[in-house]
Structure 1
Protein backbone atom coordinates (compact mmCIF):
# COMPACT_ATOMS: atom_id res chain seq x y z
CA UNK A 1 0.00 0.00 0.00
CA UNK A 2 1.53 3.32 -1.06
CA UNK A 3 0.86 6.41 1.04
CA UNK A 4 1.71 8.93 -1.68
CA UNK A 5 -1.37 11.15 -2.08
CA UNK A 6 -1.52 14.47 -0.26
CA UNK A 7 -4.72 14.93 1.73
CA UNK A 8 -5.53 18.01 3.78
CA UNK A 9 -7.67 17.84 6.92
CA UNK A 10 -9.57 21.14 7.02
CA UNK A 11 -10.87 22.92 10.09
CA UNK A 12 -12.93 26.10 9.87
CA UNK A 13 -11.78 28.77 12.32
CA UNK A 14 -14.40 31.48 12.96
CA UNK A 15 -13.31 35.06 12.39
CA UNK A 16 -12.52 37.22 15.41
CA UNK A 17 -14.70 40.13 16.49
CA UNK A 18 -13.36 43.59 15.63
CA UNK A 19 -14.55 46.00 18.32
CA UNK A 20 -13.55 49.06 16.24
CA UNK A 21 -15.88 48.26 13.34
CA UNK A 22 -18.38 46.01 15.15
CA UNK A 23 -17.95 43.32 12.50
CA UNK A 24 -16.53 39.83 12.48
CA UNK A 25 -13.54 38.97 10.30
CA UNK A 26 -13.82 36.34 7.58
CA UNK A 27 -13.68 32.69 8.64
CA UNK A 28 -10.37 30.98 7.92
CA UNK A 29 -9.62 27.43 6.84
CA UNK A 30 -6.78 25.74 8.70
CA UNK A 31 -5.28 22.74 6.88
CA UNK A 32 -3.09 19.88 8.09
CA UNK A 33 -1.21 17.84 5.49
CA UNK A 34 -1.12 14.04 5.70
CA UNK A 35 -0.17 11.42 3.14
CA UNK A 36 -2.71 8.70 2.39
CA UNK A 37 -3.44 5.74 0.21
CA UNK A 38 -6.50 6.76 -1.84
CA UNK A 39 -8.69 4.34 -3.81
CA UNK A 40 -12.24 3.92 -5.05
CA UNK A 41 -14.59 2.42 -2.49
CA UNK A 42 -15.58 -1.18 -3.20
CA UNK A 43 -19.19 -1.95 -4.13
CA UNK A 44 -19.68 -4.15 -1.07
CA UNK A 45 -18.62 -1.33 1.27
CA UNK A 46 -20.79 1.23 -0.60
CA UNK A 47 -23.85 -0.91 0.05
CA UNK A 48 -22.92 -1.34 3.71
CA UNK A 49 -22.32 2.39 4.39
CA UNK A 50 -24.90 4.02 2.10
CA UNK A 51 -27.40 1.24 1.42
CA UNK A 52 -26.91 1.74 -2.32
CA UNK A 53 -24.26 2.63 -4.86
CA UNK A 54 -22.98 6.18 -4.39
CA UNK A 55 -20.78 7.71 -7.06
CA UNK A 56 -17.68 9.69 -6.16
CA UNK A 57 -16.92 7.85 -2.93
CA UNK A 58 -13.28 7.21 -1.96
CA UNK A 59 -11.53 5.15 0.68
CA UNK A 60 -8.50 6.70 2.40
CA UNK A 61 -5.93 4.97 4.59
CA UNK A 62 -3.51 7.00 6.69
CA UNK A 63 -0.70 5.72 8.86
CA UNK A 64 -1.35 6.20 12.56
CA UNK A 65 -4.51 7.91 13.86
CA UNK A 66 -5.61 11.49 13.20
CA UNK A 67 -6.70 12.82 16.60
CA UNK A 68 -7.45 16.49 15.84
CA UNK A 69 -10.97 17.72 15.09
CA UNK A 70 -11.70 18.60 11.46
CA UNK A 71 -14.63 19.54 9.22
CA UNK A 72 -13.66 18.29 5.74
CA UNK A 73 -10.88 16.60 3.80
CA UNK A 74 -9.44 18.18 0.65
CA UNK A 75 -7.78 16.07 -2.04
CA UNK A 76 -6.49 18.23 -4.87
CA UNK A 77 -9.20 20.81 -5.50
CA UNK A 78 -12.12 18.64 -4.33
CA UNK A 79 -13.65 18.78 -0.86
CA UNK A 80 -14.95 15.61 0.81
CA UNK A 81 -16.97 14.87 3.94
CA UNK A 82 -16.34 11.81 6.08
CA UNK A 83 -19.17 9.28 6.01
CA UNK A 84 -17.45 6.50 7.95
CA UNK A 85 -14.19 6.08 9.81
CA UNK A 86 -12.52 3.13 11.46
CA UNK A 87 -9.42 3.08 13.64
CA UNK A 88 -7.23 0.03 13.25
CA UNK A 89 -4.14 -0.75 15.30
CA UNK A 90 -1.62 1.25 13.26
CA UNK A 91 -3.74 3.13 10.72
CA UNK A 92 -7.08 4.82 10.22
CA UNK A 93 -9.54 4.36 7.38
CA UNK A 94 -11.99 6.96 6.08
CA UNK A 95 -14.81 6.53 3.58
CA UNK A 96 -15.53 9.95 2.11
CA UNK A 97 -17.95 11.43 -0.41
CA UNK A 98 -17.64 14.64 -2.36
CA UNK A 99 -19.41 17.73 -1.03
CA UNK A 100 -21.83 19.05 -3.65
Structure 2
Protein backbone atom coordinates (compact mmCIF):
# COMPACT_ATOMS: atom_id res chain seq x y z
CA UNK A 1 0.00 0.00 0.00
CA UNK A 2 1.47 3.30 -1.09
CA UNK A 3 0.95 6.49 0.83
CA UNK A 4 1.79 8.72 -2.13
CA UNK A 5 -1.27 10.91 -2.70
CA UNK A 6 -1.31 14.37 -1.07
CA UNK A 7 -4.44 15.02 0.99
CA UNK A 8 -5.25 18.46 2.37
CA UNK A 9 -7.15 18.87 5.64
CA UNK A 10 -8.96 22.21 5.50
CA UNK A 11 -9.90 24.42 8.46
CA UNK A 12 -12.34 27.17 7.48
CA UNK A 13 -12.50 30.43 9.44
CA UNK A 14 -15.58 32.56 8.63
CA UNK A 15 -15.02 36.16 7.58
CA UNK A 16 -15.50 38.98 10.08
CA UNK A 17 -18.41 41.41 9.86
CA UNK A 18 -17.50 44.95 8.76
CA UNK A 19 -20.02 47.40 10.26
CA UNK A 20 -18.89 50.23 7.94
CA UNK A 21 -19.82 48.40 4.75
CA UNK A 22 -22.36 45.93 6.18
CA UNK A 23 -20.61 43.03 4.47
CA UNK A 24 -18.69 40.02 5.68
CA UNK A 25 -15.08 39.46 4.68
CA UNK A 26 -14.16 36.36 2.70
CA UNK A 27 -13.67 33.09 4.56
CA UNK A 28 -10.08 32.01 5.11
CA UNK A 29 -9.04 28.42 4.51
CA UNK A 30 -5.98 26.91 6.17
CA UNK A 31 -4.66 23.65 4.73
CA UNK A 32 -2.43 20.97 6.24
CA UNK A 33 -0.99 18.41 3.81
CA UNK A 34 -0.49 14.72 4.61
CA UNK A 35 0.28 11.78 2.35
CA UNK A 36 -2.36 9.06 2.20
CA UNK A 37 -3.42 5.90 0.45
CA UNK A 38 -6.67 6.54 -1.44
CA UNK A 39 -8.99 3.91 -2.90
CA UNK A 40 -12.61 3.59 -3.93
CA UNK A 41 -14.91 2.60 -1.09
CA UNK A 42 -15.92 -1.08 -1.20
CA UNK A 43 -19.55 -2.14 -1.54
CA UNK A 44 -19.66 -3.63 1.98
CA UNK A 45 -18.56 -0.32 3.50
CA UNK A 46 -21.01 1.59 1.28
CA UNK A 47 -23.86 -0.52 2.64
CA UNK A 48 -22.68 0.02 6.21
CA UNK A 49 -22.13 3.80 6.04
CA UNK A 50 -24.63 4.98 3.42
CA UNK A 51 -27.21 2.17 3.38
CA UNK A 52 -26.47 1.64 -0.30
CA UNK A 53 -24.20 2.85 -3.09
CA UNK A 54 -23.20 6.49 -3.16
CA UNK A 55 -21.40 8.23 -5.98
CA UNK A 56 -18.03 9.87 -5.37
CA UNK A 57 -17.04 8.20 -2.11
CA UNK A 58 -13.43 7.35 -1.27
CA UNK A 59 -11.56 5.58 1.51
CA UNK A 60 -8.54 7.53 2.74
CA UNK A 61 -5.96 5.83 4.95
CA UNK A 62 -3.22 7.72 6.81
CA UNK A 63 -0.13 6.11 8.32
CA UNK A 64 -0.44 8.23 11.49
CA UNK A 65 -3.36 9.87 13.28
CA UNK A 66 -4.36 13.41 12.31
CA UNK A 67 -5.17 15.15 15.61
CA UNK A 68 -5.98 18.73 14.52
CA UNK A 69 -9.60 19.86 14.01
CA UNK A 70 -10.68 20.22 10.37
CA UNK A 71 -13.86 20.92 8.41
CA UNK A 72 -13.32 19.06 5.15
CA UNK A 73 -10.71 17.25 3.06
CA UNK A 74 -9.43 18.20 -0.37
CA UNK A 75 -8.01 15.57 -2.74
CA UNK A 76 -6.62 17.07 -5.95
CA UNK A 77 -9.28 19.71 -6.77
CA UNK A 78 -12.29 17.95 -5.23
CA UNK A 79 -13.71 18.64 -1.76
CA UNK A 80 -14.99 15.87 0.52
CA UNK A 81 -16.91 15.64 3.80
CA UNK A 82 -16.00 12.93 6.29
CA UNK A 83 -18.85 10.45 6.80
CA UNK A 84 -17.02 7.84 8.86
CA UNK A 85 -13.71 7.83 10.70
CA UNK A 86 -11.86 5.08 12.51
CA UNK A 87 -8.61 5.23 14.47
CA UNK A 88 -6.54 2.08 14.56
CA UNK A 89 -3.42 1.64 16.65
CA UNK A 90 -1.17 3.68 14.37
CA UNK A 91 -3.32 4.32 11.28
CA UNK A 92 -6.45 6.34 10.66
CA UNK A 93 -9.16 5.64 8.07
CA UNK A 94 -11.72 8.08 6.68
CA UNK A 95 -14.70 7.26 4.45
CA UNK A 96 -15.54 10.48 2.62
CA UNK A 97 -18.16 11.64 0.13
CA UNK A 98 -17.97 14.43 -2.40
CA UNK A 99 -19.33 17.85 -1.40
CA UNK A 100 -22.41 18.64 -3.47
So what's the TM-score if we normalise by structure 1? 0.91
1:49 matched to 2:49: yes
Instruction: Mark the runs of 5 or more structure 1 residues left unpaired by the alignment.
Output: none
Secondary structure in 2 aligned to 1:61? strand
Could you tell me how far 1:40 is from its partner in structure 2? 0.3
Instruction: Tell me the residue number matched to 1:36.
Output: 36
Secondary structure in 2 aligned to 1:83? strand
Aligned length: 100
Could you tell me how far 1:56 is from its partner in structure 2? 1.1
Could you tell me how far 1:19 is from its partner in structure 2? 6.6
Separation in structure 2 between the aligned mates of residue 22 and residue 95 of structure 1, nearest angstrom: 39
Separation in structure 1 between the aligned mates of residue 5 and residue 18 of structure 2, nearest angstrom: 39
Instruction: Select between 70-79 and 22-31 the one with higher mean Cα deviation.
Output: 22-31
Secondary structure in 1 aligned to 2:38? strand
Could you tell me how far 1:63 is from its partner in structure 2? 1.3
Instruction: Mark the runs of 5 or more structure 2 residues left unpaired by the alignment.
Output: none
Instruction: Tell me the residue number matched to 1:82.
Output: 82
After superposing on structure 2, the runs of 4+ consecutive aligned residues of structure 1 that deviate more than 4 Å are 17-23
Cα RMSD (Å): 1.4
Could you tell me how far 1:96 is from its partner in structure 2? 0.3
